[in-house]
Amino acid sequence: MSFDVEFDPSKRLAEPENVCDVRRVEIEFAIPVELTAAQNRTLWALVDEITEAARNQPVDGVHWTSGGGSKPVWSQADRAFLGMAPDGTAPESGEPEFDDTTLQITTTARAFVSNKERTLVERARRERGLLK
């Protein structure tokens, strides 16, 4: 059974408020800082709050905080394969390395994969007040 959805991530559950579109948040501390476990949880909770807001949820899919940890440093070959912009400072090939001084938190968005998933997600969204 095929499930075809034309996924347009610009169609959201709610209209944007007086906000700006952001694709990435970068913070560069002037000196190394220590991030406590409580601060780390707060940071992740903020990312979840932003991601789960109705204005950031696609109508025909899902968007969630999907991972995080040390920032990967990809080779030029990997960057090309992954559809990332070139980085002239990256090695030509090889296994990725990880920058342990940079915490990277990522989100993922995709279309619903089945009517069952759509039904379950829409029920949860109604319970949270995101759908009427």
Q: CA angle 102-97-89, nearest 5°?
A: 85
Whether 13 is covered by a domain: the verdict is: no
The C-alpha atoms of residue 29 and residue 80 are separated, in whole angstroms, by 30
Give me the number of domains the chain comprises: 1
In a domain, 94, yes or no: yes
Amino acid at 97: E
110 in any annotated domain: yes
- Whether residue 30 is contained in a domain is answered as no
Q: What is the pTM of this model?
A: 0.80
Residue 11 lies in a domain: no
Q: Give residue 94's domain range.
A: 59-127
Inside any domain, residue 115: yes
pLDDT string in tens for the chain (132-residue length) = 455 667 888 888 888 777 788 888 889 899 999 999 999 999 999 999 999 999 999 999 999 999 999 999 999 999 999 998 988 888 899 999 999 999 999 999 999 999 999 999 999 999 998 887
Residue 97, phi then psi, degrees to nearest 5 = -110, 170
